[in-house]
Chain A
Amino acid sequence: MGASTITEAEIWEALREVPDPEIPTINVVDLGIIRRVTVGDPIRVEMMPTFTGCPAIDMMRQDIEARLSAFGPVEVVVVYDEAWTSDRITAAGREMLRAADLAPPPHGAIRLTPVPVTPVACPYCGSTDTQIENLFGPTPCRSIFYCRACRQPFEQFKAV
């Protein structure tokens, strides 16, 4: 396949097949971490990390390179000059988080004090009778909650 026949849309479509290594129900496009795709030689992909301390950054870069290698030489650039925010997760992506039993982050303008202002719905039973247990969780991007209705702890993808 020559570079001239590749379209940017094809690259975006292929990127939708690259899962987040920690939350495989969501892909890198719906997670909102792909900022820009430039078709050329090489194909250039700009990726924004969700959290600066995210240990999956290098793995995601390798997974993207591997998926796109069929199209030709690929350069994945991790960019920090613009902050990824949880509002970059697409509507479909929020459903994909739910499929992994993660509550999606609260919607709306990114607040500088990320207090869960609206009640967080339990991803298991849907109840909003929930409480925050820990601002921090098993990965930098998650907080821990408890659902009083179904008595189940669950995690929320942090608003940031």
Chain B
Amino acid sequence: MRAEVTSALGRYLLTVADDELILGYRDSEWTGIAPLVEEDVAFSSLAQDEIGHARLYYMLAADLLESDADHLALGRGPDDYYHASVLETRTTPKYDSSGAHRGGGDWARAVARRFLYDLFDDLRTDALVSSSYAPLAGAVQKIRREEQYHLRHGAAWWRALASAEGEARERLEGALLALWPGLLGLFEDAPGEDLLVAEGLLSRRTSDLRDAWLERVQDHCAAVGIRFPAERTAAGWSIAVSPEAGGRQGRHGPAWAELYDEMTMVRRLEPEAVW
């Protein structure tokens, strides 16, 4: 592989790994406080899978970038993470040290974000499974098998909240609208994706996955009678809001500073520690 291709692939894999790590981290925060005990188990397991996938992508990136996976995961500066910013916001409630609820917390938002992200990730991994870079194609094949469980879990909750009527359904609708610009930000290309497509390392650019994703989300909205926030016209999809972009270039929202600080705290305390 030519040097510029190697570095573009490494950089692209960081965007994928960062998405998985950050969503896995945020979803792990539901452990112990999910609305059902079965969901404590399920969300913890989903989060663990994502962090496992992140680890695998970091290992692949580390080979290409001559770095190491632990450094890539936790040793970069805050401006060198390339996840979509929609994944970095907290969905769990906050409590003060006396145990009093300080606000926040929205299970519907956690469910909607996970499911709609997984629908995106399914399209993205489908674009990687035939990669000409064999280690990546093999890893993604493995990841896709595990992700089938995620999709089933997400679809079941999507239906459950939408059909519950009342507050559950309202929260799901509210979550979809609130997340919408951020979800569209998932489709921002990483630098160098054109080159990766030309070299057969990636079958479609991230931005090229958007229309297929909109179709899928529209179907899931229609199935439960939720208003879908985009319209299809003769000229293509008409979307009223602008995507919240910048994440793939390392520009993030206000939630990121706090998350970065918390996530990297242990490593910064003892950077040389061996686990």
Residues in chain A within 8 A of chain B (CB atoms): 51-55, 80-85, 110, 112-115, 133-138, 140, 144, 158, 160
Q: Once the chains bind, are B138 and A82 in contact (CB under 8 Å)? A: yes
Report which of A53, A80, A112 forms a contact with B51, defined as CB distance below 8 A.
A53
Assembled-state Cα–Cα distance A97/B115 (Å): 32
**What are 5 contact pairs spanning A and B, CB under 8 A?**
A53-B50, A81-B139, A114-B148, A134-B38, A135-B149
Q: Once the chains bind, are A52 and B149 in contact (CB under 8 Å)? A: no
Closest to A134 in B: B38
Q: Once the chains bind, are A136 and B153 in contact (CB under 8 Å)? A: yes
A70 smallest CB distance to B (angstroms) = 26
Assembled-state Cα–Cα distance A140/B146 (Å): 9
Closest to A80 in B: B139
Assembled-state Cα–Cα distance A78/B65 (Å): 20
Report which of B42, B53, B134 forms a contact with A53, defined as CB distance below 8 A.
B53
Q: Once the chains bind, are A53 and B48 in contact (CB under 8 Å)? A: yes
Report which of A55, A84, A113, A144 forms a contact with B142, defined as CB distance below 8 A.
A84
Number of interface residues of B (CB under 8 A): 30
Q: Once the chains bind, are A136 and B41 in contact (CB under 8 Å)? A: yes
Judged by DSSP, the binding face of A is loop
Q: Once the chains bind, are A135 and B152 in contact (CB under 8 Å)? A: yes
Q: Once the chains bind, are B42 and A135 in contact (CB under 8 Å)? A: yes
Q: Once the chains bind, are B142 and A83 in contact (CB under 8 Å)? A: yes
Q: Once the chains bind, are A81 and B149 in contact (CB under 8 Å)? A: no
Residues on B with beta carbons closer than 8 Å to the beta carbon of A144 = 38, 41
Q: Once the chains bind, are A140 and B52 in contact (CB under 8 Å)? A: yes
Q: Once the chains bind, are B52 and A53 in contact (CB under 8 Å)? A: yes
Q: Known interface pairs A134-B41, A144-B41. Does A113 touch B152 (Cβ–Cβ under 8 Å)?
A: yes
Assembled-state Cα–Cα distance A136/B148 (Å): 12
Q: Once the chains bind, are A160 and B146 in contact (CB under 8 Å)? A: yes
Residues on A with beta carbons closer than 8 Å to the beta carbon of B6 = none
B154 smallest CB distance to A (angstroms) = 11
Beta-carbon contacts under 8 Å, B53-79 to A: 53, 55-56, 59
Q: Known interface pairs A52-B49, A52-B146, A114-B148. Does A83 touch B138 (Cβ–Cβ under 8 Å)?
A: yes
Q: Known interface pairs A53-B52, A138-B41, A140-B52. Does A85 touch B145 (Cβ–Cβ under 8 Å)?
A: yes
Q: Once the chains bind, are A54 and B45 in contact (CB under 8 Å)? A: no
Report which of A52, A110, A140 forms a contact with B143, defined as CB distance below 8 A.
A52
Q: Once the chains bind, are A83 and B52 in contact (CB under 8 Å)? A: no
Residues on B with beta carbons closer than 8 Å to the beta carbon of A133 = 38
